[in-house]
Amino acid sequence: MQFRIPSIKKERARNLAIAGLVAAAAIGLFALTSKSDKSLDISGSQGGNAVAIQITSEGFIPATVKVLPGSQVTWTNSDNKAHKVASNPHPIHSEVKGLESPDLDPGASYTYKFDQKGSFGYHDHLNLTRLGTVIVE
Ligand SMILES: [Cu+2]
């Protein structure tokens, strides 16, 4: 009888170890999931094709987005005054050809399709302190 007790203890210890491993794996999985959720935040609604950026009184939100080539980026004016999205550098807007919205009234939006890979800076042409970046990769 005596030899069974340590044997049961050993089994319990093994079960505890397995439970520990399962818990560690679950935590690891959770950490990975949380991490990818965070990067989704940075990228906006990255489904490969459509990303939304809000123009607010505080600037572009998010100010930096990462998208796949061929993605459409849409800026929507959520502020109560006009804004204008334009490629750097100001005032010639030549870095990204064609990236220059008309004046966007409150509620208006503007979409541009990014085909080339690279990191592209833009600004609010009506408020030069407001900057943003679209990374296409
Ligand atoms: Cu400008």
**What is the CA(51)–ligand 1 centre distance, in A?**
22
**What is the CA(121)–ligand 1 centre distance, in A?**
11
Amino acid 49: pLDDT:
81
pLDDT bucket at 78, cuts 50 / 70 / 90: very high
Amino acid 11: pLDDT:
61
∠ CA 54-57-62 to the nearest 5 degrees? 35
Amino acid 10: pLDDT:
56
Amino acid 19: pLDDT:
54
Class of the 50-136 domain? mainly beta
The residue length of the chain stands at 137
Mean predicted lDDT score pLDDT of the chain: 80
Identify the weakest region by mean pLDDT among 14-23, 28-37, 52-61.
28-37
**What is the SS3 assignment for 98?**
coil
Is the pLDDT confidence value at 6 over 70? no
Express as a percent the part of the chain with pLDDT over 70.
65
Q: Where are the domains of the chain?
A: 1-43, 50-136
**What is the CA(15)–ligand 1 centre distance, in A?**
65
Q: How far apart are CA 67 and CA 62, in angstroms?
A: 13
**What is the CA(128)–ligand 1 centre distance, in A?**
7
Amino acid residing at 86: A
**What is the CA(83)–ligand 1 centre distance, in A?**
11
Q: Mind listing the pLDDT tens digit for each residue in 8-17?
A: 555 655 555 5
Amino acid 29: pLDDT:
41
Q: Mind listing the pLDDT tens digit for each residue in 93-116?
A: 999 999 999 999 999 999 999 999
What does each C-alpha distance from 52 to 14, 32, 33, 94, 101 come to in angstroms? 51, 25, 22, 23, 15
